[in-house]
Amino acid sequence: MRKISLDKLNQLFAEIASKNSLYIPVDTAAGAKYEKYDGTQTMSDALNTTRSAKDFFFPQTENLVDFKVEGKNIEIKEPVNEYEDFVIFGARACDVKSFEILDRVFLADPVDNFYKNRREHGVVVSMACTKPAETCFCGTFGIDAAAPAGDIVCHKTADAVYFDAKTDKGAKLLESLNALTEDTDSAAVDAQTAQTREVLKKLPLAGLDASAFGADKTMEFFNRPEWQTISESCLGCGTCTFVCPTCQCYDIKDFNTGNEVKRYRCWDSCMYSDFTKMAHGNIRNSQVERFRQRFMHKLVYYPTNNEGIFGCVGCGRCMAKCPVNMNIVKVMRKLGGNK
């Protein structure tokens, strides 16, 4: 384990940024967000960014291919994607877990090479939580906010940041920082971890139980009458899907620039009325059907296809951002008997 004093943290950022593109969470008027480090920013102390770190591997919009049409000739131009080596600093345990959930989608056959290349070039430096929010419930899904995963795991105390490499990529990066960091034991980290875990036990959602849901329970929940009542307030705005770190739905569209056609993909939302619209019509014509789809996917469909792993990481963003205060916690309590 290595450590650096807090007053030297910007020196460490500068060293990382001299060899890689470095992204850190920065405070803005709209909340914390990741920005490329240029030496002028100060790392945010916010618990989490407004939007998740998912963008680094699965961006909101992405060009796939261009078509140049001249008469009867069509020229296909694949975009040159020379992916940069980059470092994400400060990702929380929930976001790091979300990468594993996305991996099961985009790295399964057929592999999504756009996503795969970004994963290979990115190094995730996670940050353990010390002040979890009342909207946090990552523990419901077996995530330890005090001991996140990642290529390098960080713990920030009152006067220092501690680093523990967990993968080969992480070890290589941490070794390159030996001149700025010093060897240390884990005493301070162990004390902080124990303290944070005591806080986690006292959170309002600490007792939220997902055991009623899971794999192979489609028929148990699909036709429950409660879907009608709990979906009534939903606006279908899609906010929850856009701040969610595990939502993976996208659309592919063509845009004619006048000189060529650009084919791109962009995030989509199962909460939108045209999400499943096809030539014959829409298979989900009501908001209750779309609402049910979203939460069944998180709590039943994804676990069914992924060894029981849930499609939610308990980050609480949907709770914080929904304009009508509707979220997965209310669904779990209503349908799963939680209090």
pLDDT digits (tens, 9 = 90+) for 106-144: 999 999 999 999 999 999 999 999 999 999 999 999 999
Output the DSSP codes for 18-63: TTSEEEEEE--TT--EEEE--SS--B---SS-SS-GGGGTS-SEEE
Range of the domain at 43: 2-201
Domain boundary among 169, 201, 233: 201
Q: Are residues 125 and 223 in the same domain?
A: no
Q: Are residues 223 and 187 in the same domain?
A: no
Q: Are residues 195 and 222 in the same domain?
A: no
Whether pLDDT at 77 is above 90: no
Looking at the domain assignment, is residue 105 inside a domain?
yes
Q: Are residues 88 and 172 in the same domain?
A: yes
Q: Are residues 21 and 115 in the same domain?
A: yes
Residue with the two structure tokens 């060009």: 63
Q: Are residues 37 and 145 in the same domain?
A: yes
Neighbours of 169 (CB within 10 A): 18
Q: What b/e readout covers 273-282, taking b as 16+ CB neighbours within 10 angstroms?
A: eebeeeeeee
Handedness of CA 145, 202, 247, 266 (dihedral sign): negative
What is the number of domains present in the chain?
A: 2
Query: Are the C-beta atoms of 6 and 160 separated by less than 8 Å?
Result: yes
Looking at the domain assignment, is residue 80 inside a domain?
yes
Give strand ranges (E) for 102-235. Answer: 122-127, 152-156, 160-165, 182-183
Q: How far apart are CA 121 and CA 283, in angstroms?
A: 39
Q: Are residues 253 and 316 in the same domain?
A: yes
Query: Helix crossing, 93-106 with 113-121: angle to 10°?
Result: 140
The length of the chain is 339
Q: Are residues 39 and 152 in the same domain?
A: yes
DSSP letter, residue 231: T
pLDDT digits (tens, 9 = 90+) for 223-257: 999 999 999 999 989 999 999 999 999 999 999 98
Q: Are residues 29 and 135 in the same domain?
A: yes
**pTM given for the model:** 0.92
